[in-house]
Amino acid sequence: MKKNKGHADKELAEFESALLRSIDQTSRGEGRVSKPEQILARRVGRPKGSVKVDAKISTTIRLSPDVVNAFRSAGVGWQTRIDAALKDWLQTHTPV
């Protein structure tokens, strides 16, 4: 079985070209350059100040498959839509 050497050579040439552009940008002070101490100083999680005053609370809830499937079928944001539906329900109902 003969490998397609031309394809591999092209990929390597593209990689080398991108690497050289990146090195050139870095030498000009462009792009993001992090020093080891900057990397170590980063904290895990959300940046400070990015939490809303009325931040949502993480919880576990068990829902019927038909409810989950209906919300998921509409695509990304299904959990937010469930939250909105529950808020709407609270406008006309009192939780027991």
Summarize pLDDT for 3-30 with one digit per residue, the tens.
566 777 888 999 999 999 888 887 887 7
pLDDT reported for residue 51: 65
Q: Is residue 73 part of a domain?
A: yes
Q: Is 74 left (phi over 0), alpha (psi -120 to 50) or beta?
A: alpha
Q: Using the predicted structure, report yes or no on whether residue 43 has a pLDDT greater than 90.
A: no
Instruction: Phi first, then psi: give them for residue 18, nearest 5 degrees.
Output: -65, -40
Higher-confidence residue of 58 and 49: namely 58
Q: Is residue 7 part of a domain?
A: no
Q: Write down the pTM of the prediction.
A: 0.46
Q: Is residue 26 part of a domain?
A: no
Q: Using the predicted structure, report yes or no on whether residue 96 has a pLDDT greater than 90.
A: no
pLDDT reported for residue 46: 66
Q: Using the predicted structure, report yes or no on whether residue 90 has a pLDDT greater than 90.
A: yes
Q: Using the predicted structure, report yes or no on whether residue 45 has a pLDDT greater than 70.
A: yes
Q: Is residue 86 part of a domain?
A: yes
pLDDT reported for residue 88: 95
Q: Is residue 31 part of a domain?
A: no
Range of the domain at 96: 58-96
> In total, how many domains does the chain have?
1
How far, in Å, CA of 71 to CA of 59, rounded?
18
